[in-house]
Amino acid sequence: MQTIYAGATQQPVVGPGLSGLVGPGVLAAVLGQIDLFALWYVALLGLAVAISSRLSRNKALLVTAIYVILVLLLNVIPALLANALTGGGSSFVP
């Protein structure tokens, strides 16, 4: 997808995932973790949780959502620390 974008616009990709849609900051760090393959992974993970644990669809969705939120938060902690240590400036680069 990035190759197609770069070829079509003749510009490099600004940030990974969806982080190119927003300016630099913590939100960019979260959106940088999300791409087409991450969404596919979450869909398959939810299906696997529902089948393997024999939970209802809603419970499997809840377990998957909690997992995804925790993983995103753990991946964003370095950006939060950098933002706090630099005085909250926009010096974060995804």
DSSP state, residue 86 = T
Give me the pLDDT at residue 46, please: 93
Using the predicted structure, report yes or no on whether residue 71 has a pLDDT greater than 60. Answer: yes
Sequence-distant (≥ 6) Cβ neighbours of residue 21 within 8 angstroms: 31
pTM value surpassing 0.85: no
Give me the pLDDT at residue 92, please: 47
Give me the pLDDT at residue 88, please: 62
